[in-house]
Amino acid sequence: MTAASAAATRTGGPQEDDSLAEHIAGWTLVVLLAVFFTQAGLL
């Protein structure tokens, strides 16, 4: 399997094996956006 076909078969669903770093980065972004919107008075 080539890298291109491996990338094409990824669906991004919950069954995909994501690294811990990706989860931490994603949730950090979510928290930072929530803090920003709260401090800006948009929520």
What's residue 36's pLDDT? 93
- Domain assignment of residue 29, given as a range: 19-43
Looking at the domain assignment, is residue 4 inside a domain? no
Looking at the domain assignment, is residue 39 inside a domain? yes
What's residue 7's pLDDT? 52
What's residue 14's pLDDT? 60
Cα 14 to Cα 21: distance, rounded to the nearest angstrom: 16
What's residue 20's pLDDT? 87
What stretches in the chain show pLDDT beneath 50? 1
**Which among 2, 26, 1 is positioned nearest to 12, based on CA atoms?**
26
Amino acid at 12: G
Query: How far from chain centre, in Å, is Cα 29?
Result: 8
The structure tokens listed for 25 are 């980065």
| DSSP helix/strand/coil, 15 | coil
Looking at the domain assignment, is residue 11 inside a domain? no
Looking at the domain assignment, is residue 28 inside a domain? yes
Looking at the domain assignment, is residue 2 inside a domain? no
Looking at the domain assignment, is residue 30 inside a domain? yes
Looking at the domain assignment, is residue 5 inside a domain? no
Tens of pLDDT along 16-26? 566 888 999 99
Looking at the domain assignment, is residue 13 inside a domain? no
Q: Count how many domains the chain has.
A: 1
